[in-house]
Structure 1
Amino acid sequence: MSLYSSEVEAVEALTASYKEIQTEVSKVIIGQEDVIKSVLIAIFSNGHCLLVGVPGLAKTLLVQTVSRVLDLSYNRIQFTPDLMPSDITGSEILSEDRSFKFIRGPVFANIILADEINRTPPKTQAALLEAMQERTVTTSGVNHKLPKPFFVLATQNPIEQEGTYPLPEAQLDRFMFNVKLDYPSFEEELLVVRNTTSNLKPDLTKIISAEQIEYFQHLVRNIPVTDNVLNYAVKMVSKTRPGTSHATDKINQYLTWGAGPRASQFLVLGAKCHAALMGKYSPDIEDVQAIATEVLRHRIVRNYKAEAEGISVESIIKSLF
């Protein structure tokens, strides 16, 4: 059943909801408007988000705040070297009547904060693969559905590498966005320190429900996209693959691997959502470019030459525009 009388009205409602969510989240998170927008685009596109930044940039607080404003269930999983897969998905126990009973793990929530996801071994990281892709957990041959909507918002510290495990490519590819958090400006940091060293506790209003989020996810998929925008997105991804006909000299020179088809899918979905949040009824090339860096950043692999010459992933992506 449609919540709105027309898709035009629905897009306008999504745009209005986005602005209200931004306002509420900004009561707690000072600055970081682009980061908040990227997280919300991932959520409304039914994708997952990897947040990368040094400690103290409010990555965890951002996820907690978003879950409160969206009125969704939330669980935080602290990833450590001794974390086991069953600590995430749950396990079976022998009940009093001698039958096995499945006890659900913390992954059974709408929003999962995978805190410092690179601090646990690949075996445990892999416990999230099925959940992120299929939205299910399988144990002892029984399939358990996760609640809808379901998102994994993971954090990663780029500085301290001791005791960390690089995320496998298959795991990285499950994330729609790789979002980098930067230091706040002087004025923003001044406001952060003033607010966090006082007794100020802002009241947050719940803006939309799980049902509305699911509706908006279907709406985003129904947004029409023109052939030229579709071709532009797919061609941009094709250009990242060294040795192919679309690859430029810079790509052949500096990349080992390019992005796969999932990048093209996320580029188009993200562009649709970005357009809707900006009040447009169909994406254009600028919408693709607006989210391209977050989609491609973790899907292309630089070679030794690029690293030796200090060629950044971001500069390579910008050359694709």
Structure 2
Amino acid sequence: MKNALLSSLRRDGVVLGLAALMFVIVAAIMTAKGIDLNFSSIRANAQVMASSVLVLVVIDLVTGLAIARPEWPIAFLRQRYLSARTIRFAIGGLPVLAVLIVFLPFYSKMKSMIPLLNEYDWDPVFIRWDRWLLGQDAWLLLQPVLGYPILTSAISACYQIWILLLYFGCLLMCYHPAAADVRQRFFLVYLASWGVIGAGLAAAFASVGPCFLEPLTGNPAFTAQMEYLRSANEQFPVFSLKVQDLLLTWFSRDERGLGSGITAMPSMHVAVAFLYVLACWNISTRLRVATTAFCAVILLGSVHLAYHYLVDGLVSIVVVSVLWWLAGRLPVRSG
């Protein structure tokens, strides 16, 4: 067991090093701003991750039994889950798993601190950029195609499903053999994206996005879009509206728990979705198609649901592409 853990530490050393550096930076900024370093939300995130592990194990158990149809199921399961090889395999992913459990609460703290670091004054710039690129607001361009309540509801559901990428997706990238060749590269870019895009650029170009523009800045530029979303919600549930209301409540209370904070530029939803496109591109054709389609829905949905301007997602795609290229220049370590 000790050898398995040491091997995983050697293999994932560069990922763990990046995570440690980011933790130190965030902790230093929080200390400088007088923010409490209490991360009680780590427990909540650990519970979500543990539940995700349990779900994946149950799925594997059921499919394993269905495919093998063993004469002695108990012996089959004991060999599958309690063998020395399986235990070594599980231990090998624990360091990265620990980083994933601790990392999101750190990011949420940093995201919620953005008003302490910069004013939310970039929205007018990004509105002009969208109008320069498209000739009008992006949501108006999409409205003739996406502006049907049932379609809006479906897009909103997909936007909520995105969170599975942070748990089930990361677990599969950590443990699935098919992802072994891109594992290090994926987690390097995953962590760097949260730091560079979700914290650094978000603080430098602080903006709230269309849905929060009027409540937080008094600018009514997207009132019509929000009126459409609320009217659509009367026919089919638009889940994003409840999330937006919750984020506003947390913001007004200055809460810094898991998932809190308001930022628009760049879009982490698009960044993470596009990272999966890059990571899965050469694994299989089906995954390539599925991740690309999902990323497209997230990009369009981020605009249609009033979370983001189109340029938020486009910048994320460019930055993730650069980070992916840079991570690919590093030597890959095997376990």
Return the TM-score normalized by structure 2: 0.24
Q: Give the number of the structure whose residues are more often helix, by fraction.
A: 2
- Higher fraction of strand: 1
